Structure 1
Amino acid sequence: MHILVINSGSSSLKYQLFAMPAEQPLCSGLIERIGTEDSVIRHKILTGQSPQTIERKESIVDHAAGLQQMLNLLSDSDVGVIRSRDEITAIGHRVVHGGEYFANATLITPTVKETIKSLFSLAPLHNPINYECIEMAEKTFPNAKQIAVFDTAFHQTMPEYAFRYALPDALYRDESIRAYGFHGTSHKYVSQKAISWLNKPDASLISIHLGNGCSITAIQGGKSIDTSMGFGPLSGLVMGSRSGDIDPSVIFHLLANGYSSDEVSNLLNKQSGMQGLTGFSDMRDIGKAVNSGSAAAALACEIYAYRVRKYIGAYAAILNRLDALIFTAGVGENDSSMRQRICSNLDFLNIHLDPQKNSALSGEIRAIHTDDSPVRILVIPTNEELEIANQSFALLHND
């Protein structure tokens, strides 16, 4: 069967079409800067002897227009990979927030849609767009099954003592204020890969997702038991433009000194993290600044790595055993110098990185620990779209 995966962001639309159960990608695409006059479409055809890429700029006013462009490319007479939209059996949607309602991939029904709407306030930048794309996909592909895979679902196995905040009980019971965690689809995908590689179903793992957004998750036997992101995606590690953990007193101080709540939110989400420390949010730019002798960039990298090491220590304590560290996402997969910084001075946890292996660039799963390291260190490329396709196929197959 053909399963189309739609991963919609606030101003972007990412998609992949898979032939399942072979897990064969037929095409993939990314539409960026939706809502502007200089939107960018990058569409890659993966069938045939060599990949073919189409890239163009044009005005895409909203996600509906983006979905139409995607459909046009999928079924184009020259470069299309389907003849009819009815060839698509199911569409798997990434939905950011599922609250406490969803712990698995879910067939979308009117009731499910109403529940997603009820969670708009918990993910105001993402759930409304996810919902909009579901409605548009229902109209565009009326014969396809629509399936939701939630970022928060993987973390629903966290025990209550891990996800509850020390706040008045009514705030949890009535306002649903608790830690939910995010990047769950990525953490699940790479942890399952690690479990298979280790051949150890009960493995104790720490999965480190380092992209523009960053999170770290403690995983025992394939289940999340704690994670760094909480009620929203702001807490935990230092990120591209998000602050990560700060003392809440900083917020009160800013509010008392003339900042509005919107200004504080914008500051912590868009002007902080590596952006605030260096003027850059992209680690490639920061790496160039370090190599050029920037003391601010070098300090920012130490802050970034130090925060990850703190969480590694904390999660090793709650796991009470550590079989492997996993690095994934853009920075985790590609920045060998940051992996080196993070893994330094962790000898007491029996974590020993091999510098030569760390610098190697090839391999689907790269083992970068020394031969005598009790704890494995793995670099595993994440593939959220494939994970969504797999979960969607499993749901339909079991159904």
Structure 2
Amino acid sequence: MDLAVNVLVVNAGSSSLKLGVLGEDGTVLAEHHAERWQGDTGPLKDFLTDAPDVDAVGHRVVHGGSTFTSATAIDDHVRGEIEALTALAPLHQPRALAGIDAARELLPSIPHVACFDTAFHTTMPSAATTYAIPESWQRKWQPRRYGFHGLSHSYASRRAAELAGTPDARVVSCHLGAGASLAAVASGRSVDTTMGFTPLAGLVMATRSGDVDPGLLVWLQRAGLSLDELEDGLEHHAGLAGLSGVGGDLRDVRRAAGAGDPRAGLALEVYVHRLRQGVAAMAASLGGIDLLVFTGGVGEHDAVLRADTTAGLGFLGVAVDSNRNDGPGLISADESAAGVWVVPAREDLEIAAQTRAVA
């Protein structure tokens, strides 16, 4: 396809729908965010009434499993393959399918492309994707570490490398929002990440636990928790919300900690501890670090978090200049061995670029 096209980006979340039309230079020509979307065509139909004409549609799909390793043109067969992966992402996959169905119904004559969050991480080596579980389990179910937030990590790591003028850089990308993960990126390729088979693994998040000893989960089930209770607790009542008692918004936790709430103070300490630990682990997977990148709602807007995180990473040669730490852009100190960048999240640009490359 000629690159001079308008791309409609459809980003269907677990309960919301984000729509945007991007021009060839990345300009957002029109956008709309429906907070409580029920999967119907109404919001998209209304949006298209006044939006510029579009030449292709790019859909964010959270899970591509082992089947989809890059953006893929959608036909009935591909749609069926995406649906077959629903068990791996039961909250997000049905919503992505609803977005695909609605857009294909309203725009049947133009190309539709699925852009997968997991695809970016399919370049990880086997040592980073393989679980040390019984061989019989591996043969029967073939579980692996998939990784998520790939569209964000792909854009943020590439953009930082472009800005720094170092395309072959070893980048640790920090996508920090309600969901949070890190990625180790070498010369544009993911070699490790903190999330695993599901988006529950890794860092402490707003309401998700991050890494928990599997033995504790077995113990909790034997102590009387049902599988449903365990899943609900780990997904919706853990993380910052579970630690602080004031909810999962880091701003609320910080305010409570400032007012002397010890639970909120501990929540901040745990959050930063796990984040520093994760950055160091990603740097180890890369054999060093050239660029550290913060993106996502928290990563972009919480200067205190960036300062607290990097304050414990001096052994990696990372240092932030307090006078620059308002972002976006370069925030590292002149003496820092690694460049520290704040890059605004633009999954829409990544989806549009992948769509143009395929459509």
Fold match by TM threshold 0.5:
yes
Structure 1 residue 248: deviation in Å?
Answer: 0.8
Q: Which residue of 2 aligns with 1:136?
A: 102
Greater alpha carbon shift after TM alignment, 205-214 vs 165-174: 165-174
Tell me the secondary structure at the aligned position of residue 314 of structure 1: helix
Q: Which residue of 1 aligns with 2:286?
A: 319
Structure 1 CA distance for aligned equivalents of residues 39 and 175 of structure 2: 27
Whether 1:29 and 2:32 are equivalent positions in the alignment is yes
User: Of 183, 191, 194, which aligns to 1:225?
Assistant: 191
Structure 2 contact 151–347 (Cα < 8 Å) conserved? yes
Q: Which residue of 2 aligns with 1:8?
A: 12
Tell me the secondary structure at the aligned position of residue 22 of structure 1: coil
TM-score computed with the length of structure 2 as normaliser: 0.96
Structure 1 CA distance for aligned equivalents of residues 136 and 81 of structure 2: 21
Tell me the secondary structure at the aligned position of residue 91 of structure 2: coil
> Which residue identity lines up with residue 73 of structure 2 in the other structure?
L
Structure 1 residue 170: deviation in Å?
Answer: 4.0
Structure with more relative contact order (C-alpha pairs < 8 Å, separation 6 or more): 2
Structure 1 CA distance for aligned equivalents of residues 84 and 144 of structure 2: 16
RMSD of Structure 2 on Structure 1 (CA) = 1.3
Structure 1 CA distance for aligned equivalents of residues 43 and 91 of structure 2: 23
Q: Which residue of 2 aligns with 1:70?
A: 44
Q: Which residue of 1 aligns with 2:311?
A: 344
Structure 1 CA distance for aligned equivalents of residues 339 and 120 of structure 2: 23
Structure 2 contact 293–341 (Cα < 8 Å) conserved? yes
Distance 1:221 1:237, change over 3 A: same
Structure 2 residues not aligned, in runs of 5+: none
Structure 1 contact 4–18 (Cα < 8 Å) conserved? yes
Whether 1:389 and 2:355 are equivalent positions in the alignment is no
Aligned length: 354
Cα deviation code 1:31-74 (max 9, x no counterpart): 1123xxxxxxxxxxxxxxxxxxxxxxxxxxx211xx32232133
* Equivalence map 1:52-67=2 (5 Å): 62-64=38-40, 67=41
Structure 1 CA distance for aligned equivalents of residues 323 and 292 of structure 2: 18
Structure 2 CA distance for aligned equivalents of residues 119 and 172 of structure 1: 18
Q: Which residue of 1 aligns with 2:159?
A: 193
Structure 1 residue 139: deviation in Å?
Answer: 0.9
Greater alpha carbon shift after TM alignment, 138-147 vs 229-238: 138-147
> Which residue identity lines up with residue 81 of structure 1 in the other structure?
A
Tell me the secondary structure at the aligned position of residue 232 of structure 1: coil
Tell me the secondary structure at the aligned position of residue 174 of structure 1: helix
TM-score computed with the length of structure 1 as normaliser: 0.86
Tell me the secondary structure at the aligned position of residue 319 of structure 2: coil
Structure 1 CA distance for aligned equivalents of residues 225 and 140 of structure 2: 29
Q: Which residue of 2 aligns with 1:375?
A: 338
Greater alpha carbon shift after TM alignment, 307-316 vs 163-172: 163-172
Q: Which residue of 1 aligns with 2:138?
A: 172
Structure 1 contact 11–33 (Cα < 8 Å) conserved? yes
Which ranges of 4 or more aligned residues in structure 1 deviate by more than 4 Å? none
Q: Which residue of 1 aligns with 2:176?
A: 210
Cα deviation code 1:162-186 (max 9, x no counterpart): 1000012343343231100000000
Structure 1 residues not aligned, in runs of 5+: 35-61
* Equivalence map 1:283-322=2 (5 Å): 283-322=250-289
Cα deviation code 1:200-250 (max 9, x no counterpart): 221101001110000001110100000000000000000000000010111
Tell me the secondary structure at the aligned position of residue 281 of structure 2: helix
| Amino-acid identity (%) | 41
Whether 1:264 and 2:230 are equivalent positions in the alignment is yes
Distance 1:29 1:170, change over 3 A: farther
Cα deviation code 1:233-271 (max 9, x no counterpart): 000000000000010111111111111100000001100
Structure 2 CA distance for aligned equivalents of residues 69 and 221 of structure 1: 40
